[in-house]
Amino acid sequence: VKHLLGIRDLQRSDIETIFQTADSFKDVLQRPIKKVPTLRDTTIVNVFFENSTRTRISFELAEKRLGADVVNFSASGSSVSKGETLIDTVNNILAMKVDMVVMRHSATGAPHFLSKHIDVPILNAGDGINEHPTQALLDAFSIREKLGSVEGKKVAIVGDIMHSRVALSNIYCLKKLGAEVTVVGPPTLIPKYLANALGVNVTYNLREALEWCDVANVLRIQLERLKMPLFSSLREYSLVYGINKQLLDSLHKEVVIMHPGPINRGVELSSDAADSKQSIILQQVENGVAVRMAALYLLSGKTPNITVTGN
Ligand code: CP
């Protein structure tokens, strides 16, 4: 059984296969009837132990556009509150003849753990501070669409690198595709050891990073994961690391602005920057459906001539 647990497990050729497949599905999504019967005989459960808007709806839409039967599970309101374990929860769902699992969990490694106990494909929809592979795929797919390729492009990832699974998956994905990556943010959120281990450039100077990059992927401060205050206030963070239109207009180039959402407007990104024509934030969301259709299709086992190496 193949899973999509993280970008770290993938080869560049796997990512390119996902993109080529997503190109086809993006064409399907432009048609009046946005559906194909590819996974008509497949039942997929979306198991969310952590809140989500984009990822959950995007996966559900992707599954329905592929013709799959879809079941949604949220930990809140379930028997998890009575003490049922993760493995028992998922095995009970699988006993009802479910073929694939999409899972988000606040614990790092939860889908990896689960993959050792069940024998259907698992797609990681975000695990703690580890990885969010489909977000990184849709981000890179959106850069490729906007700039023609990812190879050789300069991407700055801005903000809370330490707590962001989006940052980690993006770094793996962008480097595999030949982009140059710089991380920028306060030193408290970018430990040197982390940047060194990941093989990316580090700067604590936002303007320097923006003057350098083609694309800035701006991250939310993960307040729910912060163990200590990063600045005296979010206002102070915003003054030093917030991006607004005035700052973008003062640069010597036009930088493409990305954000995985949800945006804390006025903190990491002002509304005039988020909603500017430099922003491709809603294109990222649109592309998420096609990219997730591709990932689901390629992992479903219904593609006799295509394989991906996810473990
Ligand atoms: N980008 C992202 O993961 O958003 P959600 O938390 O709303 O799914």
Nearest-atom index, ligand 1, CA of 126: 3
Residue 102 lies in a domain: yes
Residues 42 and 174 in one domain: no
Please confirm whether the linkage preceding 262 is cis (ω < 30° from 0): yes
Domain that holds residue 56: 7-131+285-299
Q: Of ligand 1's atoms, which has the minimum distance to the CA of residue 53?
A: 7
Q: Are 173 and 145 in contact (CB under 8 A)?
A: no
**SS3 labels along 201-231:** EEECCHHHHHHHCCEEEECCCCHHHCCCCCC
Domain count, the chain: 2
My answer on whether 147 and 274 are in the same domain is: yes
73 Cα: distance to centroid of ligand 1 (angstroms): 16
The reply to whether 305 falls in a domain is: no
Distance CA 203, CA 213 (A): 12
Residue appearing with tokens 């990305």:
258
Query: Mean pLDDT of successive 10-residue segments in the chain (311 residues)?
Result: 92 97 97 96 97 98 98 93 94 95 96 94 97 98 98 97 95 97 92 83 96 97 68 83 98 97 96 98 98 97 64 53
In the reported structure, the alpha carbon of residue 76 is separated from the centroid of ligand 1 by a whole-number distance in angstroms of 17
Q: Is residue 182, in this structure, part of any structural domain at all?
A: yes
| 25 and 125 housed in the same domain | yes
Does ipTM top 0.90?
yes
CA atoms 29, 169, 274, 156: torsion sign: negative
Length of the chain in terms of residues written: 311
Consult the annotation and say whether 55 binds a ligand.
yes
Report if pTM > 0.90: yes
| Phi, psi at 125, each rounded to 5° | -100, 20
pLDDT at residue 24, as a whole number: 97
Q: Are residues 180 and 109 in the same domain?
A: no
8 Å CB contact between 172 and 154: no
Most ligand 1 atoms within 8 A of CB, residue of 53, 218, 222, 259 to mutate? 53
144 labeled part of a ligand binding site: no
DSSP assignments along 118-157, one per residue = --S-EEEEEETTTB-HHHHHHHHHHHHHHHS-STT-EEEE
**End-to-end Cα spacing for the chain:** 8
Strand partners, 184: 158, 203
The verdict on 121 and 215 lying in the same domain is no
* CATH number of 204's domain: 3.40.50.1370
Q: Are residues 114 and 220 in the same domain?
A: no
Contact 29/294 with Cβ under 8 angstroms?
no
DSSP class of residue 77 equals: T
Do 117 and 141 reside in the same domain of the chain? no
Question: Is 246 within any annotated ligand binding site?
Answer: no
Is 64 annotated to bind ligand? no
Measure the CA angle with vertex 115, ends 112 and 117; round to 5°.
125
Question: Are 88 and 119 in a shared domain?
Answer: yes
Angle (CA) 128-173-124 rounded to 5° is: 35
CA of 54 to the centre of ligand 1 (A): 5
In a domain, 249, yes or no: yes
Cα 34 to its chain centre, rounded Å, is 23
Angle between helix 54-65 and helix 281-299 axes, rounded to 10 deg:
50
Question: Which residue from 286, 280, 282 is spatially nearest to 256, judged by alpha carbons?
Answer: 280
117 and 137 belong to one structural domain: no
pLDDT at 307: 52
Main-chain dihedrals φ then ψ at residue 227, nearest 5 degrees: -95, -25
